Amino acid sequence: MSMPKVRVRFAPSPTGPLHIGGLRTALYNYLFAKKYSGDFILRIEDTDRERFVPGAEDYIVESLKWCGVAPNEGVGFGDGPFAPYRQSERKNLYKNYADTLVESGSAYYAFDTGPELEELRKKTHPAGASPLQYDTSTRMSMKNSLVLPAAEVKRRIDSGEKYVVRIKMPADEEIKVTDLIRGEVIVHTSQLDDKVLFKSDGMPTYHLANVVDDYLMKITHVIRGEEWLPSAPLHVLLYKYFGWENVMPQFVHLPLLLKPDGHGKLSKRDGDQLGFPVFPLEWTDPATNEVSSGYRESGYFPDAVINILALLGWHPTQAQEIFTLDELVHEFSLEHVAKGGAKFDPEKAKWLNQQYLRSKSDDTVAEVFQKQLSDKQKIYGFKMPDSEYLKKVCHLLKEKASFINEFWSLGKYFFIAPDKYDTDIVRKKWNEKNAGFFSALKEKFLVQKSFTHDELEKTFKQEATGLGIKPGEVMQLFRVIITGGAGGPALFEVVALLGKDEVMKRIERALTEFKF
């Protein structure tokens, strides 16, 4: 018997921006599907209308597109054979499945109102006690179809009284969940309550909708975050109650993403406090106008973000850290996904982006930097350089930066002469002897025919030695004269790129302004 085609889904709720943990879930689903020539689906689970946030769905779609993790079918990516993929557009079908469970005795109608349940909690569960649960021990004292006569139940429903449908949890059973990462997990039904499957607003809860949709969409593997592991026994039970056990998907619960210190789940607050994003794109909350930073806006490359996420919980078989998306598809396996939480390391993320920056062509980097440079030109008024000059600047700067948006702060001296200098170095090194050296160097550079970095360095060292000065004693001072600061790319490559006229001006300015 042939195995069914692999079909996986990423099923976020449109309640806000896509957290990096959700993006990792999408990535692992994508890699698994591509590895086995399967299908990857985007399904929007928007049954919780109270938490629905306008714009969140578009944000999710745009995030996946930016990262290059495109589903085969689903919201924003084209209809497949199981459309629609937005649960709010499928709501008419869930009621029938809820009623089927009631008819089979696996679920029941509950008419208890919120205030009634709250009053019962106060009476039976004093402050500090365990919260009241609607379960095997309490349901027969509640207002539901297990207690009320059938005629009364019908009367209430026909009159339009609000109700929910709850699963009828078995009284004394063990439910086994087989997880491809964690092995067999056994949960006793005494630990589970009678969860609501269908709400009074006519919408299903996540539990009913995701099981029904996974069945109808022929999902073979449910790859989701660890936070859904406690719900897995309920989902297994629903497959049993529906008679779908032979097509139940295999479950995979991914490890949590932890804070950099390894303590606790990674949150937006951690990113805000420690200065790194936790969302793929920038997001403005429509309710509060609060802006959350994104990887794209922070200057990360999408392929670097994918590389970062892949290594958060998955361990390749070889000592390799830099992967293309195709290489990840080839190497990825669920067997090498860890059980324990994965600690997020923002410094490692920066390092990975730096490696991708260095691997990009000068043309590619220059194209991105030119857009940023245009904004600076409007402020500072310098002449925009030609493409060849810009590519050479990018070639030098990308070895020193982690992000393209650092280029201006690291190398604005390529476009405007420094107006501030490292005063500590000037104070320590600028003296009459060194001033004489730079005056002589200026004259040498002025008549030098070959203004290449090799010839410039040769001239510099010869002139220093001829004046009884060790080249190293004036090298840092020369950098300050040219760039304003103490660090940067190879100095004589910078000097050669700036050209003779500009270098002459900068040395002349130092000779005029520096005091000793």
The residues that bridge with 110 in the sheet, in sequence order, are 144, 164
Angle between helices 491-498 and 453-466 (to 10 degrees): 110
Q: What is the DSSP string of 52-86?
A: --TTHHHHHHHHHHHHT---SEETTS---TT---B
CA dist 23 to 257, 281, 427, Å? 11, 11, 52
DSSP-derived pairing of the beta strands 196-198 and 164-167: antiparallel
Using CB atoms within 10 A of its CB, is residue 136 exposed (0-12), middle (13-18) or buried (19+)?
Answer: middle
DSSP 89: G
> Looking at beta carbons, which pairs linking 98-102 to residues 24 or more positions away fall under 8 Å?
98/165, 98/197, 98/198, 98/204, 98/208, 99/165, 100/242, 101/165, 101/167, 101/197, 101/238, 101/241, 101/242, 102/145, 102/165
CA pair distance 433, 426, nearest whole angstrom = 13
Write down the catalytic residue from 143, 195, 268, 398: 268
DSSP-derived pairing of the beta strands 39-42 and 7-10: parallel
Which residue type sits at 118? Answer: E
505 belongs to the catalytic site? no
CA pair distance 484, 424, nearest whole angstrom = 11
Which residue type sits at 2? Answer: S
Contact 59, 99 (CB under 8 A): no
CA pair distance 506, 498, nearest whole angstrom = 10
Q: What is the DSSP string of 334-383?
A: GGGB-SSPEEP-HHHHHHHHHHHHHHS-HHHHHHHHHHHHHHHHHHH-PP
Q: What is the DSSP string of 101-148?
A: HHHTTSEEEE---HHHHHHHHHHHS-TTSPPP--STTTGGGSSBTTTS
In 3D, which of 291, 175, 173 has the Cα closest to residue 238? 175
Count CB atoms within 10 A of the CB of residue 380: 11
Residues 212, 217, 218: CA angle, nearest 5 degrees: 100
CA pair distance 488, 396, nearest whole angstrom = 9
DSSP 254: E
The residues that bridge with 175 in the sheet, in sequence order, are 187
Catalytic residue positions, numbered: 268
